[in-house]
Amino acid sequence: MNKILQLCLDNAKRERQIINMVRNEAEATMYIYDVIDPYWGVSANTVIADIAAAGDAATLHIRINSPGGNVFESRAIIEAIKRFAGKTIAHIDSLAASAATSVALACDEVEISDGGFFMIHPASGGAYGDKNDLRKRADLLEKLEATIAAEYAAESGQELDQIVAWMDAETWFTAAESIAAGFVDRLQSTAKVSNTYNLAAFAKAPAAISAPPAAPAVAAPAPNPAPAVTASCMKRANANRLALLQAL
């Protein structure tokens, strides 16, 4: 199955982020807490509308907890972020994987929570058709990879060969590793946030965050207590039996 489709289907029933944008006079905060996809999660149209709602705020905070998704949708989001007139700060609250990493790096500054993860891997996509169609799709994926790898290298200061090696290996960076590699500027001073995504679509997701979120425990209903038998109840029962016998 196509990785993006699997990612969307695996997480279709997870709890959604309700609030997408919060703002005051000086700052606005936007949330990308979902798969990046026009049908199954956060779409470019949604993000563009949120950025427009930020208006003339001096700073736009983009809080990210996303396993990635549709690469073309992420490209539109990236361009919308770059067009914002004010300062942009990405906050990786838990997970920035795949296409979500490019969204984070489009911002002027990038922070990550202690316990957060940053993952890069080769571009992927489904294909259907004859050998020519499949070759064209592979060529397109190679072009996408080259573009993304060049952006990673420019933002991090790493050699392009090193970036490509990390992508080919599907590399998961911890918070400290993402800072050391140059992808992230600093650690953000917040409490740890748990990942809530099913990451079975990825081959090397760390075991600590790759298991699907467990269903909340539901307590068994307490048994109804038997009615207490009181002296007055016994007295009424005996009186009723006596009346019945006298009537015979």
The answer to the question of residue 228 being in a domain is: no
- Band of pLDDT at residue 125, cut at 50, 70 and 90: confident
- Band of pLDDT at residue 85, cut at 50, 70 and 90: very high
pLDDT given for residue 228 in this prediction: 53
Here the CATH number for the domain that contains residue 51 is 3.90.226.10
Domain that holds residue 141: 3-209
Q: What is the DSSP string of the chain?
A: --HHHHHHHHTTTSPPP---EEE-SSEEEEEE-S-B-TTTSB-HHHHHHHHHHHTT-SEEEEEEEE--B-HHHHHHHHHHHHH-SSEEEEEEEEEEETHHHHHHHTSSEEEEETT-EEEE--------SSHHHHHHHHHHHHHHHHHHHHHHHHHH---HHHHHHHHHTTEEEEHHHHHHTTS--EEESS---------TTSSS--HHHHSPPPPPP-PPPPPPPPPP--HHHHHHHHHHHHHHHHH-
The answer to the question of residue 143 being in a domain is: yes
Q: What mean pLDDT is predicted for residues 196-218?
A: 57
What is the chain's mean pLDDT, rounded? 82
Q: pTM here?
A: 0.72
The answer to the question of residue 222 being in a domain is: no
The answer to the question of residue 171 being in a domain is: yes
Number of domains in the chain: 1
pLDDT given for residue 189 in this prediction: 80
pLDDT digits (tens, 9 = 90+) for 152-202: 999 999 999 999 999 999 999 999 999 999 999 999 986 555 555 565 666
The answer to the question of residue 234 being in a domain is: no
